[in-house]
Chain A
Amino acid sequence: MSTQPALMQTISALFKRDLLLAFRSRGDLLNPLMFFLMVTSLFPLAVSPDPKFLGDIAPGVIWVGALLATLLSLDLLFKSDFEDGALEQLLVLPQPTFFLILAKVAVHWLVAGLPLTLIAPLLGLMLGLPEGGYGPLMLSLLLGTPTLSLLGAIGAGLTVGLRKGGMLMPLLILPLYIPILIFAASAVQTGVQGEPVTGHLLFLGAYLAFAVAVCPIAAGAALKISVAR
C-alpha cells in the first residue's frame, strides 16, 4: 500500500518542521536550561559549601533540577500549535496521531531533555559528585528524560486549551514523575557507593518502553478533548 511511505514522509516532515521551529525560537529553549543551571548552582551557596555534603546531595539536586526544568519546558510542546491552528491541521491528517505525537515528543526531547543530560556532568563536577556517580547520572538521564517528555505530553495535551493551565499541569504530571525521580536518584547514589546500578536502570528502561507505547495514545486523546472544547 502507498500509506506506509506517506506515513514515514509525514513523520519526517513534521520532525524537520518542529526542529526548524525550535531553532527559530531558540531563545525559548534556553529558559529550562538556565533554570536547571541556576537551581543547582544556588544550592552550594544556600546550604553548605562542604564538598562531602554537596557530593551526598548532588544526585538528588541534579535530578530534581532536571525534572522541574522539563516541567517548565512542556509548554513548548503543543501551545503554539494550538494557538495558530496547526494542531487542528495535525488532527485531520490521514496519518495516525500516535506517530505524529511521537515525532513531536522526540523533537521536544532533543531540544529540552538532551541538553539537560549533556550539561548534567558539568553540574555534577560543580557539586563535587564522587567519581562513580557520573556514569549512572548520564545513563539515568538518558533513560529518564525521554520518559519525562512522553508523560508530560499527556499533561500538556490536557491543559493546552486552558488559559490557566500552568498550575494544573504539574499537579497532573508530578505523580507520574515520582517513580522516575526515586529510581534515577537512587541509581546515582548507588553508583557513588560503588554498587551495581543495573536494576535501577532496567526499571527506568522499562518505564520508558511503557511510556512510548502508551503516552502518545493518551496524549492524542487529550489533544482531541482540548481541541473539541
Chain B
Amino acid sequence: MSLGSNNTSAWLVANGLRCERDDRVLFQDLSFALGAGDIARITGPNGAGKSTLIRILIGLSAGYEGELLWQGDAMARNQYDFFANLLYLGHQPGVKANLTPEENLRWNCRDASREDIYAALEQVGLRGYEDVQASSLSAGQHRRVALARLYVAPPKVWILDEPFTAIDKQGVAKLEQTIIDHAQQGGLVILTTHHDLAVPVKHIELGGPVDPVDHTTEEAGL
C-alpha cells in the first residue's frame, strides 16, 4: 500500500468504516482513498448497504464508526466545503413534479445562464420539454431532468445512487461516457450500479452479511 504517494492527492478518504443496522453488520474495516480522476463503483448484492454507504459519505446518516476525511480534514469539520464540491443524486432525484424541467434546473444550478440550462436539457434529450411540468413526463424523462445537472457547470465530486435506473439504452451509453469524461477531466465519481462500465473502475465491495473474520475486501486506493 503506497499510501504516501496517493494520499496526498486523495480527496475523500475513509478509514475503517463500520456500519451496523438492526444488529447486522453491513460492513466493517472499509477503507478507501479516492481522488481526482477516479471512478469508484460500490458493488454488492441487494441489501449490502450500498445506499447506506452513500448516505454516510454525504453526511445524511450518522450511524457509523470510523474515520471520514475530506481534503485531509475530518468530514464533520469540513462538510460545507465538501458540499460545495458535491453533486449528489439519490434514489429520489429531487425533481419537483410541479415544476418544468427548466425551473427544476434553475433551482439546482443557480449560477447557470438560460443558455447553459437549455444546452443541458438538449444533452439529456429533453429539448422541447422545457415548459412541460415534470409530472406529465415519463419516469425515464423525470430521471433525465435530474441527470441534466451533470451538464451544467458540474462540481468536482459526483455521488450517484443508481444513475442508470429507468434510462434507455442510448441514454445509458451517453451517461456512461459523461461519467468517464468527468473522471478524465479530473473529477471524482462514486456510483452504485449493476451496469458494467466500459472502463476499469475502482471497486468498493460490500458483501451481504459480513463474516466477522472475513473482512470486507477493499481494492480502492492502492
Measured between alpha carbons, how far is A85 from B84 in the docked complex, in Å?
Answer: 19
A89 touches B94 (CB 8 A): yes
Report if A119 contacts B (CB, 8 A). Answer: no
Name the interface size band of chain B.
20 to 34
Report if B81 contacts A (CB, 8 A). Answer: yes
Measured between alpha carbons, how far is A9 from B96 in the docked complex, in Å?
Answer: 20
B92 CB contacts on chain A under 8 angstroms: 83-85, 88
Measured between alpha carbons, how far is A45 from B103 in the docked complex, in Å?
Answer: 47
| Least CB distance, A44 to chain B, in whole angstroms | 38
Which of A9, A21, A87, A229 is B99 in contact with, Cβ under 8 Å?
A: A21
Report if A172 contacts B (CB, 8 A). Answer: no
| Least CB distance, B32 to chain A, in whole angstroms | 20
**Whose C-beta in chain B lies nearest to the C-beta of A83?**
B92
B62 touches A88 (CB 8 A): no
A13 CB contacts on chain B under 8 angstroms: 106-107, 110
Q: Which of A90-98, A142-150, A208-216 contacts B (4 or more CB under 8 A)?
A: A90-98
Interface residues of B in 1-27 (CB under 8 A from A): none
Which of A14, A21, A84, A229 is B95 in contact with, Cβ under 8 Å?
A: A84
CB within 8 Å for A21 and B96 given contacts A14-B107, A92-B58, A94-B84: yes
A25 CB contacts on chain B under 8 angstroms: 98
B103 touches A20 (CB 8 A): yes
Report if B202 contacts A (CB, 8 A). Answer: no
| Least CB distance, A10 to chain B, in whole angstroms | 6
Report if A206 contacts B (CB, 8 A). Answer: no
CB within 8 Å for A9 and B62 given contacts A84-B96, A88-B92: no
Interface residues of A in 172-215 (CB under 8 A from B): none
A10 touches B60 (CB 8 A): no
Report if A224 contacts B (CB, 8 A). Answer: yes
Specify the main secondary structure of chain B where it touches its partner.
Answer: loop
**Whose C-beta in chain B lies nearest to the C-beta of A84?**
B92
| Least CB distance, B77 to chain A, in whole angstroms | 14
Binary CB contact string for chain A from 49 to 75 against chain B (1 if under 8 A, 0 otherwise): 000000000000000000000000000
B110 touches A92 (CB 8 A): no
CB within 8 Å for A21 and B94 given contacts A9-B110, A92-B83: no
**Whose C-beta in chain A lies nearest to the C-beta of B52?**
A229
B98 CB contacts on chain A under 8 angstroms: 21, 24-25
B55 touches A228 (CB 8 A): yes
A94 touches B88 (CB 8 A): no
A217 CB contacts on chain B under 8 angstroms: none
Which of A9, A14, A93 is B83 in contact with, Cβ under 8 Å?
A: A93
Report if B186 contacts A (CB, 8 A). Answer: no
Report if B90 contacts A (CB, 8 A). Answer: yes
Binary CB contact string for chain B from 55 to 86 against chain A (1 if under 8 A, 0 otherwise): 10011111100000000000000001101101
**Whose C-beta in chain B lies nearest to the C-beta of A227?**
B60
| Least CB distance, A23 to chain B, in whole angstroms | 9
Measured between alpha carbons, how far is A92 from B80 in the docked complex, in Å?
Answer: 8
Report if A86 contacts B (CB, 8 A). Answer: yes
Measured between alpha carbons, how far is A89 from B60 in the docked complex, in Å?
Answer: 10
**Whose C-beta in chain B lies nearest to the C-beta of A12?**
B110
Measured between alpha carbons, how far is A25 from B97 in the docked complex, in Å?
Answer: 11
A89 touches B108 (CB 8 A): yes
CB within 8 Å for A228 and B99 given contacts A84-B94, A85-B92, A89-B94: no
A88 touches B81 (CB 8 A): no
Give me the 6 closest cross-chain CB pairs, A-B, nearest first. Answer: A85-B92, A94-B84, A85-B94, A89-B94, A94-B83, A24-B98
Q: Which residues of chain B have a CB within 8 Å of any CB of chain A?
A: 55, 58-63, 80-81, 83-84, 86, 88, 90-99, 103, 106-108, 110, 133
Q: A84-B93, A85-B92, A92-B60 are in contact. List 9 more A-B contacts (CB 8 A).
A: A13-B106, A21-B98, A80-B96, A86-B96, A87-B94, A88-B60, A89-B90, A94-B80, A228-B55
